[in-house]
Structure 1
Amino acid sequence: MTAMRWRARVDTVDGRTLGAGLLVTGSRILTCAHVVKGLTEVCVTFPGVAEKLPATVTTTGPWRSVGDPGDVAVLTLDDPVPLEPCEFASCDVLTPWAGGAAHELRALGFPHGHERDGIHVTVRTDAYRMLREEWLEINVAQAHLQLLDEGCSGAAVYFPDTGKVVGMITDAVLDDERGGVIGRMLPLSSIRRHWEGLDDLLPLDWLPPEPRRELRALVTGATSDRDLGSVFREAFPTFLRPPETFGSVWEAVRFVGETVPGQDRLRRFLVTLTPRLDQEARPRLADWLRRRLPSAEQSAGGRAPASSIIVRLDPLTRGAALELTVSTIVEGVGAVRSGPLRIRRDQVRTKVEHALAAQVRTVHDLDWMIEFVVPERLMNEPFEDWGIPEPEAERRRPRPLRSVPLVVRHVDRLKPLTVSRLTRGRWRTLRARGALRPQQISCRLDYDYEAFYDWLDAGEELCALIYAAPPRDDWLSAALDTGIPIMLWRRRPCADSRHAGCAPEGFLDELAAAVSHLDPDALPVEVMRLRKRARAPGGGDHHCGHRLTLFWDDPARRPDPPLAMGRL
């Protein structure tokens, strides 16, 4: 046990002793709110070490008068002190041990006559002496010892053998001139409820200290558009006797970390919570999740981003009109949605770019991708050449979509069709082998729909196709009908019907060499890189990333309305 130089005395600026305190960081002192009532400036002394250090009252709990809960205050020193702060015990350490008496604890107070150096008081308590779910009743261990008195308020209560702090004395029952044998203390579990910053300092095992402090800081002051109790029940619908509500976002997070079972409990709750937070906190929490608590897929490395903007275009039965819906997904959870909007075919690019500009700020600080979920006739559009105009920078050129991972999907696969089951089966094959290993499709093949379908249908190992040119309509239909989940092609038609001079092998070999070894979930990011390299010096028309379309249809990503988005 180190020398406990963290025990402090709190005085007025003119030297009148108010009570005690404890150094919790290099510049912060914890004491009682009633000790510094009505004051903004005080002085702090560490007896025998440092005298009359100026400090400011920076935080107080809800205490207003005797008997109120929240008798907590935090003082901030004008200048940090080179002293070791106190060390806290765990919040449940005062549970009585089997067959034993109450815990014997100690505190250093500054009652009348002992203002300069302080005097020790020995007390007993345990977790079963709770009063109003706020205080623990304490009593002096033996009647002949120093009693509780004015000047003990704010004194740290600690184990005499280890010096680890378990709480803070708040008041005593003063029944004679000498003081009292009974008093009350705030245990750590109560202090942290009124000053959430204490959780940065406690030995909590559900999250390492650094990411825990970062998480608490970013949710402090955050607001939710739904009651936090209902968010909790949405995340954990089978949890017995869930709380009705929580006082703050951090209180809800802490409850999940310390009470709910399961290894993924915290991430599960935060993913549910993220889209419910205010616009400032939402992207910050999503970014924290990506960095500090990634999903199993993200942890494997090189994966597709978990956040997306999904552009869905459904063909309507009348005319050539389309229904446009744009959704933003943050860490797999729906955050923003616009539409549906009925548009003409010639309005698609303009309307999509406008919708992207309205939603991109939700994900701009994250790793994200764009998913175009469209009918077959739109799969050959040069989506990566479209842009995202920035509404706050009118003179700046739109950001090209090729600057982020971009994939094309088939809108019919969002419907409960047999082909969705086939797609899931081929995805399982892809992930089991851990590499793309695409089948090259030369433009010289003369298969019709039936022959192409039968070939793919019989080849269960065929999970990824590379076409030398835009696939013929019947080839594309056959591939979609057999559940092929990944296809790549160059949007450059062959030179003539006999394919003289189109040299498909060079493109196929180059692209296959670039992607064959990849995990299928890493493909959207790698294709983005190929598109960028094709535009850079040394790239050009013959680079395999030039005018490259990626069809990448993972059936596990189903964040489209009205399925996963229906509850927003």
Structure 2
Amino acid sequence: MVPAADTDRGPHNRPGPRTRAGGRRDPVNSPSWHARIGCGNEVGGGFLVSDRHVLTCAHVVAADAPEHGVTTTVTFPGSPALGPFTATVVAHGGWHGAATDPGDLAVLALDRPVPIEPARFAPLTEAYGAEEPKLLAYGFPQHYEEGTVAEFRVTADQLIAAEWVQLEAWSAYGQPLAPGFSGAAVVHADTKEVVGMVTAADRDPRIRGGRMLPSGIMARYWPRLGELIPTPGHTRADKAELRALIARAEAAGVEASPERLYRDAVGPHGTLPPRERFGSLWEAAWYTLAESTDPTAPARFAARLADFVDTDTATRHALQRWPGGQRQPSYGQRQPSYGQPQPPYGQPAPVPAPVSRNPRVPARRWESVLVEIEHSGAGQGQFIVSVSLCRGQERHPVGERSLPRGKVKAYALERISEAYRLIDRDAHELIAFALPRQWHNNPVHTWKRSKDDPTPLGSFSPVVVMDLARRRDPMLQHKLHQAWQELDTRTTGAELHRVECGSDQGQVSLTRQLRPRTGLLGFAAPPRAARAKGQFKAGLNAPVPVILWPQTGCEGGHEPKDDCPGTSFLDAVGAYVESRAPGELPYDIWELRRDSDQEWARQVTLFWEDPRCFPEPAVGFRHSPVG
């Protein structure tokens, strides 16, 4: 640190402008974009951020109102030949007039462009650090028409009232903060990049400190500023696109809680939101960009917002693809092991097919559209519907919404269609429904694909059903992994255990019978009756990896010699599935459903769960069920 007495001095014993060899001004150190703001009796600082826009404090230009007849003038001391500019307030941070009110920011539009390169912004953490970087502010206190420089450091990286950072003087002498510094840019002494703006000086002149509005907070109040501030992993064009998409979503009448979108994006262990509610969707988006330590969180924010854009399809799809068409994994996905080669950023990691020593099992790579439906705490008839695209242990969210039962089907089908935009062209698609127990016999494979296409979903793509509760039971998932490992080693098909029409076997007895075996389970009738439901639970608890039953079937009550449709169904399904690889059944049943001669295949519900094809479910609620 060079003592002030040893620095170069200009007239009146004040520091003069630094020069390079030969007397030319150094353009890096020249304060060309620093501005002097005059509005009535107020004088303050400001700084150029575009060829037409200057930032300053709202309290500096508070008198700039048409009814007052006060003109705001802007001059650039580093380029006096440009003369004065007339300015108008075009945006502000909502400051209400008190010294401790937040939002003390004003954006001035100049009457003509300025031929000066605007200020550059530093990364958000540049003002802090163990070495306490020196910070400079260029203000206009009394008797300094041409401006003067004050030197400071940041006391700590802690925000005061979620708004300001405390400044303290770099030394016990030199220029303190005083009236005329309000609105001045605070810059890093080495890079001359902006880290914030002076908003207040300590009332006690002996303290020689003040407050700074950090650039990250400023961008909450003026969204365009976020494009100028470096954020890891996202370019200026990315942020401009996100800001435009949020504006389009708002114009389309989107109704979404900024707080919930933020929490969904960063996950349960992400950076906490501010104590105050977000004032806008952009404020929440910027907080995700600026504060989250997870570089994939902003893409999840955009994808989550897309879920609420119902009336503007183009905007919804653009939000899902932001940024640059890349899909980011959700929080909580399993990360690759250290030491393994990693794909380039933004490209999905290749997902190997399940290891199989069965020569009859082809190397099929599933990419699954996972539809999870669960009861919501918001009401008896409310359900949370979540749709994701799954590549092995990666999950790419497509949409999630809390809906009454009557709207679940239409929403799920719409988001399933959108998930197909993400499926690799070389992969085999699989639609998997993870359902609550009461929905197991809901024939989701017969749902019409769309309002314009009456094709049953199960004829269009392979469709399977899973149990939502079993998906979230770690013990049963462990046993399922073991079951599939055993199935993969077999050179013959798995045996179908038949639950015949009118079987009175109890749940516990059937569980004990099934548990030592790794095979398939078939029912002659849907699990609707009380005993049939218990037998079905036995299969879940065994745990059996594949269960099949017809939509309709024999309910019993007939003589043994009578023909039984349930027995006929089990004969047909057993003859087919016992000769097939269990891992291929979704594809095989899909092919049969398209065969007009295979009536039983169009009637069958395929309960099929291979945990290797799906990411591990989140522990507990991912979102508040009443949020």
**One of 445, 457, 467 as aligned partner of 1:401:** 457
Secondary structure, aligned partner of 2:327? helix
2:105 pairs with 1:72: yes
8 Å contact from structure 1 (residues 286, 366) kept in 2: no
TM-score by length of 1: 0.56
- Quick one: which amino acid aligns to residue 304 of structure 1? S
- Quick one: which amino acid aligns to residue 7 of structure 1? W
Of all paired residues, the percent bearing the same amino acid is 21
In the TM superposition, 1:472-551 aligns within 5 A as: 472=524, 482-486=542-546, 512=581, 516=584, 549-551=605-607
2:356 pairs with 1:292: no
Distance 2:498 2:201 in 1: 94
In the TM superposition, 1:152-551 aligns within 5 A as: 152-170=181-199, 184-188=210-214, 191=218, 194-195=221-222, 201-203=228-230, 245-248=276-279, 291-295=327-331, 296=333, 303-305=367-369, 307-309=371-373, 327-329=384-386, 335-338=401-404, 355-357=408-410, 371=433, 373=435, 383-387=444-448, 396=452, 400-402=456-458, 406-409=463-466, 423-429=476-482, 440=493, 457-460=515-518, 462=519, 472=524, 482-486=542-546, 512=581, 516=584, 549-551=605-607
Secondary structure, aligned partner of 1:384? helix
| Structure 2 equivalent of residue 63 of structure 1 | 95
C-alpha displacement of 1:86? 0.8
- Quick one: which amino acid aligns to residue 107 of structure 1? A
C-alpha displacement of 1:138? 5.7
- Quick one: which amino acid aligns to residue 401 of structure 2? A
8 Å contact from structure 1 (residues 558, 564) kept in 2: no
C-alpha displacement of 1:107? 3.4
Distance 1:6 1:436 in 2: 74
Show structure 2 runs of 5+ residues with no match: 1-25, 336-347, 352-365, 389-396, 423-430, 527-531, 554-564
C-alpha displacement of 1:74? 2.9
Larger deviation, residues 164-173 vs 219-228: 219-228
- Quick one: which amino acid aligns to residue 291 of structure 1? R
C-alpha displacement of 1:123? 2.6
| Structure 2 equivalent of residue 317 of structure 1 | none
2:60 pairs with 1:7: no
8 Å contact from structure 1 (residues 5, 84) kept in 2: no
**One of 102, 126, 129 as aligned partner of 2:154:** 126
Distance 1:487 1:26 in 2: 68
- Quick one: which amino acid aligns to residue 410 of structure 2? A
**One of 102, 105, 110 as aligned partner of 2:135:** 105
**CA deviation vs aligned residue, 1:196-223 (integer Å, no higher than 9, x gap):** 6655554556x75677787787779887
Distance 1:147 1:65 in 2: 24
Assess, with a 3 A threshold, how the Cα gap between structure 1 residues 136 and 553 changes in structure 2: closer, same or farther.
Answer: same
Distance 1:45 1:310 in 2: 62
Assess, with a 3 A threshold, how the Cα gap between structure 1 residues 276 and 147 changes in structure 2: closer, same or farther.
Answer: same
| Structure 1 equivalent of residue 46 of structure 2 | 21
Distance 2:373 2:448 in 1: 13
C-alpha displacement of 1:370? 6.3
8 Å contact from structure 1 (residues 22, 156) kept in 2: yes
- Quick one: which amino acid aligns to residue 401 of structure 1? L
C-alpha displacement of 1:45? 6.6
Show structure 1 runs of 5+ residues with no match: 313-322, 340-351, 391-395, 517-522
- Quick one: which amino acid aligns to residue 550 of structure 1? L
Distance 2:195 2:622 in 1: 49
Distance 2:539 2:51 in 1: 65
TM-align CA RMSD = 7.1
2:121 pairs with 1:87: yes
Distance 1:275 1:122 in 2: 46
Assess, with a 3 A threshold, how the Cα gap between structure 1 residues 505 and 202 changes in structure 2: closer, same or farther.
Answer: same
Assess, with a 3 A threshold, how the Cα gap between structure 1 residues 18 and 365 changes in structure 2: closer, same or farther.
Answer: farther
Distance 2:597 2:83 in 1: 76
C-alpha displacement of 1:356? 1.9
| Structure 1 equivalent of residue 426 of structure 2 | none
- Quick one: which amino acid aligns to residue 34 of structure 1? H
Distance 2:471 2:220 in 1: 48
- Quick one: which amino acid aligns to residue 32 of structure 1? C
- Quick one: which amino acid aligns to residue 545 of structure 2? P
Figure out how many residues of one structure are paired with residues of the other and give that number.
Answer: 494
C-alpha displacement of 1:60? 0.7
Assess, with a 3 A threshold, how the Cα gap between structure 1 residues 415 and 7 changes in structure 2: closer, same or farther.
Answer: closer
TM-score by length of 2: 0.52
Larger deviation, residues 186-195 vs 242-251: 242-251
Secondary structure, aligned partner of 1:356? helix
8 Å contact from structure 2 (residues 218, 225) kept in 1: yes
Distance 2:621 2:149 in 1: 65
